[in-house]
Structures are given as structure tokens and as C-alpha cells.
């Protein structure tokens, strides 16, 4: 039994057919992910070899650092789609949303309905790694008042919540859907993040997963989740991602 728990699996045996990665940075030159079109295709090609063929890629939208408009994102998506077709990746299905920093600019976009959703009314949002916005729960309320559903990216990475787990229950109660970064199950972000991810998993608080791929080192590290034990832990979440594309309401 011990051997089975440690048994390694190739990633194409971990990701189910129809799985969709709902968090990545694959569009060229607009955030801290893919640097150019060649890099975009290279990343997608590697992920394709892992059995991931469906993507909703999510470039950062962050103040003056990454001031990506919906138009910029859509134009970059079209560039990638054209190049994928040229290179014969006919089975790859790629769409784009965004990963929105919950700041003042985001509130303005929300009021103007200038939002790219993951699907239907689901918005991928994040916070600073240093602290939560002072008006976090007001923003979450406004998101839902506008008819959207907040999907909180990588809650396990917000170190300022690690000391008081009640914060995670409060976020769920406030209407947040939780998305696990798969690399949080490895040492990529540190032991504290890894431990918090395991606790959130054990309490069944996650709804979806994402790779949050930025570069090839991420994809190299991703191979560490390729084992029977991890697959069992996250299988229901992988299937939630699959259902996310197939149905209007995944959860």
C-alpha cells in the first residue's frame, strides 16, 4: 500500500480528458508570464504533452503595472489562436479571461461592466501577497451585487491569513469560490503555503484548481504532483474544472 501511495504517474494520467486549466499566464508580452508569441506556444505545447488541451488563460490586470484592457487581452488571444492553428494544434481550445487584483481600478471596471469572466458570471480575483484590501468584504459584496461570482485565486498563498484559519471560513461565507494552485502542493511557494493548501484540501474548501503557469520552470515543477496520492486528493477538483466548461454551473 505504501508503494502505491508513492507511485509516480505521468501527468497525462493525472489530468482527465476534457480538463480545463482556468488559471495561467500564456498570452505574450502583457504580464509576467509568456514573454513573446514563441514562448506562449512553447508553454502550451508542453502543457499539451501533459494532457491539458483546454485553457482559459488569465493575464494579470493590476493598476499601472499591468493595465490590460479587455481589448488588449482579446487581441493577444487571437494572435495565439492563429499561431496555434498554423502549427497544427487543432485539439487545443484556448479562451481568455483575466486575473483581477481587487483594487480601486478593479472597482471602476466592475461599475463599468468591463469584465472578462472565466465563464458565465465567474470572475478570477486576487489580493496583494502583503495584505488584504482594507475594504475587501465591500468589494466582494459589490462583485456579487453586480451578479458575478468571485473565484479567489490561490487563497493558500496569502500568508497573512496563515495564523488564523477563521479568515478562510469567513471568505467562503462571504461567497468566495476557492481555486487551488497545483504548485502549492509542492515546495514552490514555501512550506507554509504547502501546509495551508493541505489543510484547505482536507477540509474540502477548494472548488477548482489551476496551474498558474508563467514559465517552463513552473511546468517542470508541476511534474511533482504526478503521483497516485496527489491524484486521489485532487481528482474531484480536476473533474470540477472539466464540468466548468460543460455546464453553466459547475458547483
How much of the chain, in percent, has pLDDT values that exceed 90? 94
Q: What is the pLDDT of residues 174-203, one digit of tens each?
A: 999 999 999 999 999 999 999 999 999 999
In a domain, 250, yes or no: no
Residue in 110, 97, 116 with CA at minimum distance from that of residue 140: 110
DSSP string, 51-94: T--EEEE--EEBTTTB---HHHHHHHHHHHHHHHHHTT-TT-EE
In a domain, 140, yes or no: yes
pLDDT-derived band at 247, boundaries 50, 70, 90: low
In a domain, 37, yes or no: yes
For 130-242, list the strands marked E by DSSP. 149-153, 177-181, 208-210
What per-residue confidence (pLDDT) applies to 6? 60
**159: containing domain:** 17-241
Q: What is the pLDDT of residues 101-120, one digit of tens each?
A: 999 999 999 999 899 999 99
What per-residue confidence (pLDDT) applies to 249? 41
In a domain, 7, yes or no: no
147 pLDDT more than 60: yes
In a domain, 88, yes or no: yes
What is the average pLDDT score of the chain? 94
In a domain, 249, yes or no: no
In a domain, 213, yes or no: yes
Number of alpha helices (DSSP H) and beta strands (DSSP E) in the chain: 9, 9
CATH code, domain with 179? 3.20.20.140
Domain count of the fold of the chain: 1
In a domain, 67, yes or no: yes
Longest Cα pair distance anywhere in the chain, in angstroms?
55
What per-residue confidence (pLDDT) applies to 7? 84
Amino acid at each position: 500500500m505504501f508503494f502505491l501511495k508513492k507511485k509516480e504517474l505521468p501527468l497525462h494520467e493525472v489530468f482527465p480528458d476534457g480538463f480545463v486549466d482556468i488559471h495561467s499566464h500564456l498570452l505574450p508580452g502583457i504580464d509576467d508570464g509568456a514573454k513573446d508569441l514563441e514562448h506562449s506556444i512553447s508553454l502550451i505545447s508542453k502543457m499539451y504533452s501533459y494532457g491539458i488541451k483546454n485553457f482559459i488563460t488569465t493575464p494579470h490586470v493590476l493598476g499601472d503595472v499591468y493595465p490590460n484592457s479587455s481589448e488588449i487581452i482579446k487581441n493577444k488571444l487571437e494572435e495565439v489562436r492563429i499561431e496555434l492553428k498554423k502549427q497544427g494544434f487543432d485539439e487545443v481550445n484556448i479562451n481568455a479571461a483575466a486575473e483581477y487584483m481587487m483594487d480601486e481600478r478593479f472597482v471602476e471596471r466592475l461599475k463599468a461592466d468591463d469584465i472578462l469572466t472565466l465563464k458565465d458570471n465567474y470572475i478570477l480575483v486576487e489580493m496583494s501577497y502583503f495584505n488584504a484590501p482594507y475594504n475587501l468584504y465591500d468589494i466582494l459584496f459589490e462583485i456579487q451585487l453586480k451578479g458575478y461570482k468571485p473565484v479567489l485565486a490561490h487563497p493558500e498563498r496569502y500568508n497573512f491569513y496563515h495564523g488564523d484559519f477563521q479568515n478562510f471560513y469567513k471568505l467562503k461565507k462571504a461567497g468566495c469560490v476557492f481555486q487551488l494552485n497545483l504548485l502549492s502542493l509542492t515546495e514552490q511557494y514555501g512550506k507554509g503555503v504547502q501546509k495551508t493548501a493541505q489543510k484547505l484540501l482536507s477540509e474540502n474548501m477548494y472548488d477548482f484548481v489551476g496551474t498558474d503557469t508563467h514559465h517552463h520552470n513552473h511546468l517542470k515543477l508541476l511534474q511533482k504532483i504526478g503521483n497516485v496520492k496527489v491524484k486521489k486528493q485532487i481528482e474531484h477538483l480536476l473533474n470540477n474544472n472539466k464540468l466548468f466548461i460543460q455546464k453553466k454551473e459547475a458547483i
